[in-house]
Structure 1
């Protein structure tokens, strides 16, 4: 049946158009119930024997309304909720309200074990309804859900075995109308209570029960219309909130304090209004605070939970708190959040604060407790749970539901437990979830697209069509030890004219991963392979990544080759690109390749080729450096793991060899050459990679620090910066130059993928590599960006290739670049978190004393880098309070060192002793001695509880109230009674020269040992 609806609309130009919409209604839309004989479905989805519970003892199907999916999606995903009819009305409304939740609903629908069926009620003649006059769209949709529920109940009433239909809604008015119509209707809470499942009950999102609804703590957020107008007029500023990693009450848009943050959470898109100048202060970044533990809060929770034992509806009264900032003579503009344009809430991993649980063990009453996210940028979250005691000591996942203006904390609900805190597998899962790393197993749909031959797949004659045969070339790969996903290989051969043919051969992943199929979609979603200390989260199924695509030795593999003719000076004479077949002659580690170069007795063709490539690579590198390419550094370490337990047993610095640079140079050259080619073919949609020029402000503190040492940093261009770094040498401190390069790295901007049509040509520049254009081509096994570049390159060299809109759609390419930038950033952070986790495991039950260097000065602390372990830690500038000391009524710890804005240093204002220099000073690059241990708070006894923190205590210079006695001389106060004076003319890297006191004769020997240890 065809229905038509006519209406008129006015265009921007003023014309009036008549619009006709056609709507088809059908009689043949199936119910999909397995026992139904009336419908002619060939493959039913709804089971003949769905679940029952105490409330509905008859087997039944569930029909949820839109808000059930929007607010209770975590409950709906559980296996106990099955045989669900998803109405078209609901699915379309969810899609309009939230694309992420819509995707989760679609995932449930595609999961056959869940038995979720989409019923097209808007196209069924008996379930479609017209919108009534004066009826709101929401009321119309609620009525449509009731009508569809009634039709289903009538349609299946004669099924054998007997089955009923239950409408699920948390809207009391909608429930009442449904019951009045003779339908079965229930709230999600009552339905879950009938299942007798405590975990599911805790997962119910019920913000109203957690909000006291009384005292207004925060200002009302402005309406979207008001915000839009204010942003257009310039009254308000729009931006993404980024919270300080050291202070969760600070935002990067110069927002300080709980009241001014006004319920905004890290990652939210917010609208900000500038405060009056009288309320401006110094830029707050640089103040370290821990989570405050107010007595008022504890008493409130204790009283509430006592009441909860007899009354489930007990609520909590919160008190507002403001952060304390540090003022100087140069106030900076500050603002306050007046509205949230788009929330960035997600699921958070963390733990229940032990101090917030005051009911006796064994109580089953639901209580309100506080949840700490592992990510310190996130505020505490208030949740309601019946499992408080059993969840203590567990890592759990919590989701935020709302943040009313009357609630001091956001309100959320429990989702699931991950396992015991401190367990390596649990903590690894936590860091993957926290960094949004997809780590689920590849689906059957994805795996079904792998070659049916499996590991027995081989190159066949038909694969040579359109490919060059390079199997006779002396191709070899050079990779880290243990590498199984070998993306790239190299060859070199001499040409009759005295030049060289050099080839970079890259795994041809696109032969196996076709555009648009489920494997391609999965790879695009993952974006990149994630490398953790003890394992790898692959972007592609292992059969491809470590076998069929991997360019292993002595097997034929498909590749995409970049072939240059280079002269003796490593200058490109010409370049071409081709699909190919190779048979690598050797898979070498960097060390094995280096040994071949160094061992003159080895004169085989592979070794000679590696030597030639090495000589050419040196010339390529020198030319890059001459153009201004930067050589930066990072404190990278490698853990040696115990074979069975995979626990760390040793740490060593990563050593780079000539062969590392050899491979790097040719990969860089290939990426640049490919970038030029694809930009030539796709000027508006080429996938490229840029590295923006860092702003001058990024170098201010670094320039000031090295100026005191007689060193100048010129960052006007990458070339001048490179020359400055090369010249920044202190002969007596060989580590200084590497330390300076590490700190310069932190002044850089993030390199990003971008679509060529979204930036101007000058913005294509890669600052660090000093090249005008760049992309990623050489690692398609582990980076999806390279897969897209392979497709664009293939289209660029082969006119017969037909490519869809994916290669030319600028908007789609731009969106993909945003996803890949996010995945790349998260992968890097996950890798760092994995190193941090294994560092904690390594230092468990250990106390180490090592040299370190001050790499950042904060307002009330300083950060120390310990080169031997590649770790950083915070040393506070306040007096230490004994861990078990009673602090009731005691004033807060007073700072011993105060921040000096002019010198960007921490210093004392009082002389240490009569006759000594008046100040102790902590400055950038200063060498210090620290004691490293783990502040293991997994038992929840300490502040916040349940966090393992790297603890770094100052040994030298000795600062009363801050420094600690070393483990070797803890009973000998004189051994550590070394004071420190700040001599502005002394090299800062040596720190403050220790003044030897009477009875202390170790100064020179200690300095010698310290100098030796610094050469790591």
Structure 2
């Protein structure tokens, strides 16, 4: 498509010879250079005759092609992607280009959908049907349309799609469309509509092509042109009842332009059935928002709802030193977690302080009959249990007035399919025995999200299920956004349903590997072995490789590890120095750029580890076999070998492709026992001891440089068996000295490789950084430590912070230091992958490791970033050409954006899996306690530590289970915000007990299902120093 930044210029078609060569659309415009001179810019758009492309096949009787416009794809994708859709899709290049511009994830889904098989039993001559057929209309002389003077790009694209519908309707009917085509080339929107009627097209039900649009203007013009055109709702209604039933719930609410009122962010008055007073202000237009941000009138940032109070949220903006507080639902103005919002900061006289109460919307929810859902109700849910892994979005001091604002618009929505359960309180009794459509509320499992209004025919079935819902819009007249059903995930509480739910919630790709991907694996399969050296190596596997099979190499991993990425060795050299080697699986030997397996690995980004299963980045043949550095077999590796002196100073480092033969695969505990066994002095044991002695010195150097020794709550789940996967118990993970041994050498390898690839590729090196956190992130923790324990937390540098954390020790409270380190971790920013050419070298630093440069090289089986680093290192040491993408900053940036997203999703899914199994383990303990009828009345009790105080509750951390939870009181208590403590009555006498942050308490823990939402949640009650069950 000809694209200019000015009014469209004249386009001429230049036909070239010999016959069959395409033409070129020659577009030009004038632009002013930086020096003020006019420069003529010429762009050519090459066209080819339609005869060069195979047309879509004529379908069997009863089938018609669906040609969706961009609007239909953007808003009705769940409908189009349904396997129950009875017609294949005809996808225009115009639509592909627009969707790619609007939403890259949706574009990728659309491309995948096009390639899926459609009705395998059906065929059309020589053509086996796929779900979609792509028409490259922007490249065809007969279907390319230039943009008319004064015509908007959107109107031009709609006209191109209508013309394509007219053209292929004629082709499929066997009519020559050339006469109409000539008139289309120069006609206006209205003229082109009239000319379309010259083609033998009609709107009859047997037309071979259906134009699907929810855009009112496009719909009217298409029908005027005599095209068979339907809205998504009309299309579903035209289908047999049996098909309608499975598709009607997939219809996006307000998808039709006829149902919109023009507010881009969804300020329509419902579906046309519900009108009332506006509860929220309208969002400003995008152009006004962008101009306001540029002028400094507004600030922009991502919307972060509070996990303690559903009526509060914050927005972090780079232009302000502190987060902007959003107090009240009206100020939050229909934003949801992750939205990129624009905020107007109020005058200082209107600034507010953070609320002093826990406000749990779930406890207040009381919905009447769903057919008359209240518009004035509350919308979002606060959590009953959270996680210390995530930073608190509102790390603000109580009672301290904060910059306060209100959302005036949304630049980019973060809408996605959300995992939900049905709110049974919204389910009318009639829905249990009827299949008619009813309006209900779906409650997202992410408790900081609002309930979603849903029109469905299957309410009775959904009442016991977890399912996906997409938000379509949020009218200004409704407290609830409106959405549509996507698909069922599984029974509430079942392991299968819960696992699939958390994978969907964290957007983890988990589809099976396709045949195209599996075809990229070595044809020998499980029988593949490293070939002998010499003439037998016909594929050149040994070319450029060093033979390290005689080195005493071993691996040290967690129990049950199958995808062994790394192995190590160490030995004394004749000159008295030490040789240490890290050997990493040579994944890049098997995964080649630009093939289907590489593309899938790039899309998945990382392997995801759940409690009872693993979602692999690569097919298991590679991950757990051919690439895995198993013991007693030869494997291809990428080795980093250092020469070090006895003080762990690096004398030399080299990088080489290699072949190794690991001598043993240890668990951390087994390696620790081997190292500590004084009766063993064999080369393998001595090598482990040598590695450990160097690791201790390497760690000391890092700590002296300012590396942080932080902490996170980690627990280990004991399962019944790999088949049943039921939790037997949960315990805090035990760390061994060998854990640190492996960690230090992996860090050393990553740093050494980062230096090498940056030297070779200063503009495109794949690196990893951990930005220093803003000092304001630590203000609350500093204040709490000073007032509650008398400790000073110096955050001026990472070294100062590390020293301060080391001093936070309470002899009477052994776990105090660990708790402080966990809370300090919450103040940090997340590490991320980046392209070296995108940032100045001063911003490469890894704050937590106190390293000026860092990357990931050591886990290519489970991280795609490491695969990219392997390719760059290979090119750096061998002189082999580097993949073109890895030489382009834009490509590296785009690829790492996906990898960063997948990495965050993998971490979230792993934590959610642990939390689910911890809850099951608590239930099992509770059942066991009830059978014993012990002194605690059948309840689970545990030691907890207060991490936050409110007027009506406490946030506590239970280290035994790695859980953060809320203890709430039915009434408010005396609250001292300055001292971070509350005073609660001890008993009926009125005597009061003071409880504050860092205090140790005892809690009673149980798992309860919300009677309305069916969501399981961990409930905690205070037992000591007071009993909160009656408070």
Length-normalised TM-score, structure 1 = 0.84
Confirm whether residue 210 of structure 1 aligns to residue 233 of structure 2.
Answer: no
Mapped partners of 2:781, 2:711: distance in 1? 16
Q: In structure 2, what is the equivalent of residue 538 of structure 1?
A: 616
Confirm whether residue 252 of structure 1 aligns to residue 311 of structure 2.
Answer: no
Q: Please identify, of 167-176 and 787-796, the stretch whose mean Cα deviation from structure 2 is larger.
A: 167-176
Q: In structure 2, what is the equivalent of residue 381 of structure 1?
A: 452
The answer on whether the counterparts of 1:75 and 1:200 sit within 8 Å (CA) in structure 2 is yes
Mapped partners of 2:650, 2:380: distance in 1? 62
Q: In structure 1, what is the equivalent of residue 463 of structure 2?
A: 392
User: Which of 829, 835, 838 is equivalent to 2:917?
Assistant: 838
SS in structure 2 at match of 1:118: strand
User: Which of 330, 340, 352 is equivalent to 2:400?
Assistant: 330
SS in structure 2 at match of 1:206: coil
- Cα shift at 1:387: 1.3
Mapped partners of 1:11, 1:544: distance in 2? 55
Mapped partners of 2:889, 2:148: distance in 1? 43
Aligned length: 904
Q: 1:866 to 1:330 in 2, by over 3 A?
A: closer
- Cα shift at 1:373: 0.9
The answer on whether the counterparts of 1:906 and 1:922 sit within 8 Å (CA) in structure 2 is yes
The answer on whether the counterparts of 1:217 and 1:319 sit within 8 Å (CA) in structure 2 is no
Confirm whether residue 26 of structure 1 aligns to residue 49 of structure 2.
Answer: yes
User: Which of 106, 122, 144 is equivalent to 1:101?
Assistant: 106
Mapped partners of 2:754, 2:685: distance in 1? 30
User: Which of 67, 73, 76 is equivalent to 2:77?
Assistant: 73
Mapped partners of 1:177, 1:633: distance in 2? 63
SS in structure 2 at match of 1:189: helix
- Cα shift at 1:126: 4.7
The answer on whether the counterparts of 1:31 and 1:152 sit within 8 Å (CA) in structure 2 is no
User: Which of 335, 353, 363 is equivalent to 1:264?
Assistant: 335
User: Which of 88, 112, 130 is equivalent to 1:83?
Assistant: 88
The answer on whether the counterparts of 2:332 and 2:406 sit within 8 Å (CA) in structure 1 is yes
SS in structure 1 at match of 2:689: helix
- Equivalent positions of 1:717-732 (< 5 A) are 717-732=797-812
- Cα shift at 1:374: 0.8
Confirm whether residue 680 of structure 1 aligns to residue 798 of structure 2.
Answer: no
- Cα shift at 1:430: 0.8
Q: In structure 1, what is the equivalent of residue 836 of structure 2?
A: 756
Mapped partners of 2:135, 2:856: distance in 1? 45
- Cα shift at 1:19: 4.2
The answer on whether the counterparts of 1:156 and 1:163 sit within 8 Å (CA) in structure 2 is no
- Equivalent positions of 1:670-749 (< 5 A) are 670-707=749-786, 708-749=788-829
Q: In structure 2, what is the equivalent of residue 857 of structure 1?
A: 949
- Cα shift at 1:907: 2.8
Q: 1:765 to 1:288 in 2, by over 3 A?
A: farther
Encode CA deviations 1:30-66: one digit per residue, 9 max, x unaligned.
554546xxxxxxxxxxxx426xxxxxxx332222233
Q: 1:143 to 1:712 in 2, by over 3 A?
A: closer
The answer on whether the counterparts of 2:435 and 2:457 sit within 8 Å (CA) in structure 1 is yes
- Cα shift at 1:328: 6.8
- Cα shift at 1:859: 5.4
- Cα shift at 1:124: 4.4
Q: 1:905 to 1:69 in 2, by over 3 A?
A: same
- Cα shift at 1:378: 1.4
Q: In structure 2, what is the equivalent of residue 945 of structure 1?
A: 1013
- Cα shift at 1:233: 1.4
- Equivalent positions of 1:617-656 (< 5 A) are 617-643=695-721, 644-656=723-735
Mapped partners of 2:773, 2:559: distance in 1? 35
Confirm whether residue 808 of structure 1 aligns to residue 879 of structure 2.
Answer: no
User: Which of 84, 102, 116 is equivalent to 2:132?
Assistant: 116
SS in structure 1 at match of 2:541: helix
- Cα shift at 1:134: 6.3
SS in structure 2 at match of 1:252: strand
Mapped partners of 1:757, 1:89: distance in 2? 33
Q: 1:696 to 1:676 in 2, by over 3 A?
A: same
Q: In structure 2, what is the equivalent of residue 479 of structure 1?
A: 557
User: Which of 862, 866, 890 is equivalent to 1:782?
Assistant: 862
Q: In structure 2, what is the equivalent of residue 228 of structure 1?
A: 290
Encode CA deviations 1:838-869: one digit per residue, 9 max, x unaligned.
01111226131111111233454322222222
Q: In structure 2, what is the equivalent of residue 54 of structure 1?
A: none
SS in structure 2 at match of 1:773: coil
Confirm whether residue 873 of structure 1 aligns to residue 949 of structure 2.
Answer: no
Q: 1:173 to 1:684 in 2, by over 3 A?
A: closer
User: Which of 191, 195, 205 is equivalent to 2:240?
Assistant: 195
Confirm whether residue 921 of structure 1 aligns to residue 1006 of structure 2.
Answer: no
- Cα shift at 1:520: 1.8
Q: 1:759 to 1:86 in 2, by over 3 A?
A: closer
Mapped partners of 1:350, 1:704: distance in 2? 39
Encode CA deviations 1:431-455: one digit per residue, 9 max, x unaligned.
1111111111122222111111111
Q: Please identify, of 804-813 and 653-662, the stretch whose mean Cα deviation from structure 2 is larger.
A: 804-813
Length-normalised TM-score, structure 2 = 0.83
Q: 1:422 to 1:4 in 2, by over 3 A?
A: closer
SS in structure 2 at match of 1:786: helix
Encode CA deviations 1:803-857: one digit per residue, 9 max, x unaligned.
1343332333333333322222221111111111001111226131111111233
Encode CA deviations 1:272-327: one digit per residue, 9 max, x unaligned.
101233331113597443247566x636x3447xxxxxxxxxxx755688999999
Q: Please identify, of 717-726 and 71-80, the stretch whose mean Cα deviation from structure 2 is larger.
A: 717-726
Mapped partners of 2:461, 2:901: distance in 1? 36
Mapped partners of 1:922, 1:214: distance in 2? 47
Q: 1:233 to 1:49 in 2, by over 3 A?
A: same
Mapped partners of 1:89, 1:762: distance in 2? 43
RMSD, matched Cα: 2.9
- Cα shift at 1:425: 1.1
Q: In structure 1, what is the equivalent of residue 572 of structure 2?
A: 494
Q: In structure 2, what is the equivalent of residue 45 of structure 1?
A: none
SS in structure 2 at match of 1:766: coil
User: Which of 43, 62, 65 is equivalent to 2:66?
Assistant: 62
Mapped partners of 2:379, 2:444: distance in 1? 19
* Structure 2: gaps (5+ residues): 1-14, 16-22, 119-129, 176-205, 260-269, 316-324, 383-393, 532-536, 927-938
Confirm whether residue 186 of structure 1 aligns to residue 255 of structure 2.
Answer: no
Q: 1:472 to 1:166 in 2, by over 3 A?
A: same
Q: 1:89 to 1:647 in 2, by over 3 A?
A: same
Q: Please identify, of 10-19 and 451-460, the stretch whose mean Cα deviation from structure 2 is larger.
A: 10-19
Q: 1:185 to 1:722 in 2, by over 3 A?
A: closer
Confirm whether residue 548 of structure 1 aligns to residue 626 of structure 2.
Answer: yes
Q: 1:140 to 1:599 in 2, by over 3 A?
A: closer
The answer on whether the counterparts of 1:718 and 1:770 sit within 8 Å (CA) in structure 2 is yes
- Cα shift at 1:545: 0.8
- Cα shift at 1:137: 4.8
- Cα shift at 1:578: 0.9
User: Which of 409, 412, 419 is equivalent to 1:339?
Assistant: 409
Q: In structure 2, what is the equivalent of residue 766 of structure 1?
A: 846
The answer on whether the counterparts of 1:279 and 1:334 sit within 8 Å (CA) in structure 2 is yes
Encode CA deviations 1:464-503: one digit per residue, 9 max, x unaligned.
1101100011111111111011111111121111111111
Mapped partners of 2:99, 2:240: distance in 1? 26
Mapped partners of 2:792, 2:28: distance in 1? 72
Encode CA deviations 1:564-619: one digit per residue, 9 max, x unaligned.
11112222111111111111111111121112112222222211211222222222
Mapped partners of 2:148, 2:824: distance in 1? 66
Confirm whether residue 49 of structure 1 aligns to residue 60 of structure 2.
Answer: yes
Q: 1:153 to 1:952 in 2, by over 3 A?
A: same
SS in structure 2 at match of 1:383: strand
Q: In structure 2, what is the equivalent of residue 901 of structure 1?
A: 977
Q: In structure 1, what is the equivalent of residue 512 of structure 2?
A: 441
SS in structure 2 at match of 1:668: helix
SS in structure 1 at match of 2:1023: strand
